[in-house]
Amino acid sequence: MSEQSLQKAPGQALPTGKQIVIAKGDLQQIFEALGAAGYTIVGPTIHQEAIVYEEINRVDDLPIGWTDKQGPGHYRLLPRDDGRFFGYGVGPNTWKKFLYPSQLTLFRTGRNGDGFVTNSEQEVPQYAFIGARACELAAIAMQDRIFLEGAIQEPHYRARRERAFILAVNCTEPGATCFCHSMGVGPVNETGFDLALTELDDTFLIAVGSDVGADMLAGCAWRPAGTFELDKARLCLDESKKKMGRIMETTDLPGLLYDNLDHPRWDETAERCLSCMNCTLVCPTCFCVDVQDVSDLTGEQTERVRLWDSCFNPDFSYVHGGNIRPTIRSRYRQWLSHKLASWIDQFGASGCVGCGRCITWCPVGIDLTEEIAVIRGEQI
């Protein structure tokens, strides 16, 4: 540790907004506190050669000493020699996996002779999210707006969201497909977390975002952040803004796209797009779902199940007689114009947070920043 020695201060309440420093090893203390408080800890871990979000128990489960190399249609893990805990970008998973599960039983229906009775009791998991990035908190804030701030609240999302603990991480190493700075949401977590951490060489600088966050620090030895750590973090995060591999020009995107619904670029992109839905599945704000009935063989019991859907699914636009958007051209245009244009009309901000996942995980490497540049008439 650096010049000052750490003090252990159990029971001493840290006020929201306070910045402190802990030794990296003490992150495990936060895990212990979360576990003791009943949280299921989910965070980045390596699975099938990618960093995904899954249930983890110990700090050792994090991809310590790993990084990723991302590009259009490209993702590889590489070892790094500095033992960083969070020295990688975002992978294919998003937190909507937990807040808005890909498959959820809404209610069960049982025939009781005279008709059906519904039963919608649910167990609600209590998650602690470890390592959420600024783009991801922006995505969660957007989904809050969609599911909680309209006339009707989505109760499943709400129950999970209310109980969730968020330990955010400020991104010091953005990837080649990142552009959260263009979208005005990153790389620094400003709000929406319980604790926000910036990884320095030997220590974590931690900002306290809530009383619950402060409680989880009870087992850690800490000292107040000094000028050294604050300056160092600021420097890293300023650098981070410049290191983003992509830039999105966001000026009047609704006007641009609404005026170009017949642009020839849609045809060209449709030639490449496989309509595979990867972009919508990895997108942290995409929220489209289907609802299906699953019956047992006797027809006595039926579950009404909500599943992630995608506007790239041909059946998505089905009305009697056929599909409204039978071509890939119209489906890609639907996705991009919703994400970047009509989303703003509907929810007051762009549906894109600049995480770059749709670029990385597109099997043919379609890059929405490039699509916008071309429609703007820029030379690529």
Partner 1 sequence: MTATYTKNHTTAAFDGLLDPMLPQTATIKRIQQETLDTATYSLAFTDPAVAERYRFLPGQFNMLYLPGIGEVAISISSDPGQPESLLHTVREAGNVTGAMARLKKGDLIGVRGPYGSAWPVEMAENHDLILVSGGIGLAPLRSAIYHVIRHRDRYKQVTILVGARSPADLLYQEEYETWREFNIEVVITVDRADESWRGHVGVVPMMFYKLRPDPRRTIVLSCGPEIMMRFVIYEALARRIPKDKIYLSLERNMKCAVGFCGHCQYGPFFLCKEGPVLSFDRVEPFFGVEEF
* Least Å from the CB of residue 336 to partner 1: 13
* Least Å from the CB of residue 200 to partner 1: 26
* Least Å from the CB of residue 201 to partner 1: 30
Taken in order 181, 185, 191, 192, the sign of the CA dihedral is negative
* Choice between 147 and 222, CB closer to partner 1: 147
Here the tokens at position 37 are: 């408080």
* Choice between 13 and 258, CB closer to partner 1: 258
Q: Report the C-alpha gap between 355 and 245 in whole angstroms.
A: 11
* Least Å from the CB of residue 35 to partner 1: 16
What is the 3-class SS of the chain, one letter each residue? Answer: CCCCCCEECCCCCCCCCCEEEEEHHHHHHHHHHHHHCCCEEEEEEEECCEEEEEECCCHHHCCCCEEEEEECCEEEEEECCCCCCCCCCCCCCCCHHHHCCCEEEEEEEEECCCCEEEECCCCCCCEEEEEECHHHHHHHHHHHHHHHCCCCCCHHHHHHHHHCEEEEECCCCCCCCCCCCCCCCCCCCCCCCCEEEEECCCEEEEEECCHHHHHCCCCCEEEECCHHHHHHHHHHHHHHHHHCCCCCCCCCHHHHHHCCCCCHHHHHHHHHCCCCCHHHHHCCCCCCEEEEEEECCCCCEEEEEEEECCCCCHHHHEECCEECCCCHHHHHHHHHHHHHHHHHHHHCCCCCCCCCHHHHCCCCCCCHHHHHHHHCCCCC
* Least Å from the CB of residue 237 to partner 1: 17
* Choice between 228 and 347, CB closer to partner 1: 347
* Least Å from the CB of residue 93 to partner 1: 20
* Least Å from the CB of residue 62 to partner 1: 24
* Choice between 57 and 153, CB closer to partner 1: 153
Q: What does residue 247 show for φ and ψ, rounded to 5 degrees?
A: -130, 135
* Choice between 11 and 38, CB closer to partner 1: 38
* Choice between 55 and 259, CB closer to partner 1: 259
* Least Å from the CB of residue 248 to partner 1: 14
Here the tokens at position 56 are: 């983890």
* Choice between 194 and 370, CB closer to partner 1: 194
* Choice between 47 and 111, CB closer to partner 1: 111
* Choice between 68 and 136, CB closer to partner 1: 136
* Least Å from the CB of residue 263 to partner 1: 12
